[in-house]
Amino acid sequence: MTLLDFARGPAIEVAMVVFVFGVIWRLAWLLFLPHAQDRSKAKITGGALLSGTVGSFVRHMWPAKEYAARTLVHTVASYTFHIGLAVIVFGFGQHIQFIRSITGLHWGGLPTAVISAVSVITLAALLFMLLRRLTNPVLKVISTFTDYWSWFVTTLPVVTGLAAVSHLWIRYEDLLGIHILSVCLFLVSFPFGKLMHAFLVFVTRTQTGMFYSRRGAHV
Amino acid sequence: MDDWVMEQGTVGEALARQGVSRRSLLKYGSYLATLMALPPTAGRAIAQSLAGAKRQSVIWLSFQECTGCIESLTRSFSPSVEEMIFNLISLDYQETLQAAAGEAAEKARLDAMAANKGKYVVVVDGSVSTRDGGIYSCAAGKTNLEVLKETAKDALAILSVGTCSSFGGIPHAHPNPTGAVPVSDIVTDKPVINVSGCPPVPEVIAGTVAYLVTFGKLPPLDRLGRPKPFFGDSIHDRCYRRPFYDKGLFAKSFDDEGARNGWCLYECGCKGPVTYNACATTKWNGGTSFPIQSGHGCLGCSEPNFWDMGGFYKTLPQPTHHHGRDIGAAAAVGAIAGAGTAVLARQRRQKAIEEEGKTK
């Protein structure tokens, strides 16, 4: 069995099983946890509460104006690599083929040159985020192993994917195998660390928005 | 056949007897030099070397195979070029081509082995059955396994022609009922050159033999034991449809607009990016075409386990073992485990509340 056979076969299958199990496990756990009863009197309900919750969610997508200038570069870099990752994952023809084989859904892809350019920009943004974490005194103190691990397993597929598309260093089939294995590492790590924020951000922001909106607070 | 058997003159003499001119030999030398990406001056050197070289004694063994490899060589579109290979060698044993049969045929093999001990080349097409002592493929009362070990013992080198002898091929595909293995699994103490392909490109077989005869040494080999001059580039890198891949223009099926426009066949399951062979450069039928040019993706036939790569029409990024039920089961178990974890958390919370009540 070659490296690519292993990656396309048992490795990706096991990784997907672990990913689905882990994500559902954490979400179900969160859903069924006991919740403290909110004893405050609701100032708004129904459509107004929904509107307030959504508004809060949207407003939290950009820093408050008091911090906007100070965190502008960081915010732009964060958005850059998040959007870049989305473009790479959902815009590259080969990734669409992968998604199609799992879900049956498919759509048109972007030219390889566009994906390569986006990958380079995404990689630059990810490197900036790491450098900032390593050099900012406050961030450095509060960073733990999981922060660096999350960065590593996110960046590795971008680097290996870019190398595979560009046919760099070693033979394509080995690069493709390594790339798929790096995705496996990402999938296996995803539910059990901070990467889970991709799902939990919707839960936590909604909960926060609803909590304050119910009290009439505009946050 | 008789004038070939045991004939050990020079290649030049053999060519002259068959009316092949020096000019033709020079052209052939230039052709081989071009195929192997050698400098233009190498063509003359090859021709001169070939003319003075002793005809190489070759014993050709056919095991678990379909005869497609020898058909590829003998019935190629331009046999005048490929048949020159038979002038480069003294083909002392080949079951399909030789006139002799039965004990006389086996005697020819044994005689050639004795006369050229340590100097003959063994060409093998077909994989070797090993299960139950190799009884699933026999000839002349001997298993292929026995014949290979016996013949390879005093050979100079082994040339595995075709994917079956190089990597096991179709007989080796799951579930491999005969325990088929490639020649290199059996012969470990001799140089083994793999000229893979199902079938191999005739020019590649001829070129590899010519290299051996001309230079008297093995050509540079890749990690799978294949001659680099022919297996150095992937089909994808040499494919004329490559620009469409780079632009993201793909045929989605064999009869859509993309297919009619000649776009890249990657999404139709083409294995060109992971397949190394000379098809895209030498092409087939006298340089007329090759599978991708005919509108079908590359099957990856010159690679190990090409029959088990998840299907000819499954694209490379697609998992080969994907089972929806595994994912569904993972989701169900995850939901149960999550609910169970939450129930445990509720019980701990309740217990903590009760203990706090007792202390008050």
> Residues A66-72: contacts with CB within 8 Å, 24+ apart?
none
Higher-scoring residue by pLDDT: A38, B156: B156
pLDDT at B85: 66
Residue B172 has pLDDT above 70, yes or no: yes
| Closest-CA residue of chain A to B337 | A25
Instruction: Nearest by CB to B274, from A21, A111, A172: name it.
Output: A172
pLDDT at B65: 94
Instruction: Match domain B235-308 to its CATH number in 3.40.50.300, 1.10.10.60, 4.10.480.10, 3.30.9.60.
Output: 4.10.480.10
Q: Looking at chain A, how many residues does it have? A: 219
Provide the CB-side half-sphere exposure for A128 (13 A, CA). 15
Q: What CATH code is assigned to A3-28+65-196?
A: 1.20.950.20
Summary mean pLDDT of chain A: 92
* pLDDT tens digits for range A60-94: 888 888 888 888 999 999 999 999 999 999 999 88
Would an 8 Å CB–CB cutoff place B274 in contact with chain A? Answer: yes
B-chain residues within 8 Å CB-CB of A100? 318
Give counts: helices (H), strands (E), chain B: 18, 9
The domain spans of chain B are: 11-231, 235-308, 323-360
The answer to whether B275 touches B303, Cβ cutoff 8 Å, is yes
Residue B86 has pLDDT above 80, yes or no: no
The answer to whether B18 touches B9, Cβ cutoff 8 Å, is no
Instruction: Nearest by CB to A33, from B248, B310, B342: name it.
Output: B342
Three-state DSSP at B279 gives helix
Q: How far is CA A51 from CA A43, A48, A69, A170, in A?
A: 13, 5, 28, 53
The answer to whether A15 touches B317, Cβ cutoff 8 Å, is no
Instruction: Nearest by CB to A112, from B248, B330, B349: name it.
Output: B248
* Pair type for strands B157-161 and B192-195: parallel
What's the gap in Å between the CA of A2 and the closest CA on chain B?
8
* Residue type for position B230: F
The answer to whether B215 touches B29, Cβ cutoff 8 Å, is no
Q: How far is A117 from A100, CA to CA, in rounded Å?
A: 24
Instruction: Nearest by CB to A21, from B248, B316, B334: name it.
Output: B334
The domain spans of chain A are: 3-28+65-196
Q: How far is B19 from B237, CA to CA, in rounded Å?
A: 40
The answer to whether B82 touches B73, Cβ cutoff 8 Å, is yes
Q: How far is A172 from A119, CA to CA, in rounded Å?
A: 18
pLDDT at B1: 35
Q: What CATH code is assigned to B11-231?
A: 3.40.50.700
Given an 8 Å threshold on Cβ–Cβ distance, is B345 in contact with A34? yes
What's the gap in Å between the CA of B26 and the closest CA on chain A?
36
Best mutation target among B256, B318, B336 (most A Cβ atoms within 10 Å) is B318
Residue A118 has pLDDT above 60, yes or no: yes
Three-state DSSP at A44 gives coil
Which of A30-39, A77-86, B200-209, B338-347 shows the lowest mean pLDDT across its residues?
Answer: A30-39
What's the angle, vertex CA B242, arms to CA B240 and CA B244, rounded to 5? 110
Q: Which residues lie below 8 Å from residue A134, measured CB to CB, with a gap of 6+?
A: A140
Higher-scoring residue by pLDDT: A158, B100: A158
Given an 8 Å threshold on Cβ–Cβ distance, is B335 in contact with A24? yes
Q: How far is A180 from A12, CA to CA, in rounded Å?
A: 7
DSSP B134: G
- pLDDT tier at B116, thresholds 50, 70, 90: very high
pLDDT at B6: 42
pLDDT at B5: 38
The answer to whether B206 touches B197, Cβ cutoff 8 Å, is no
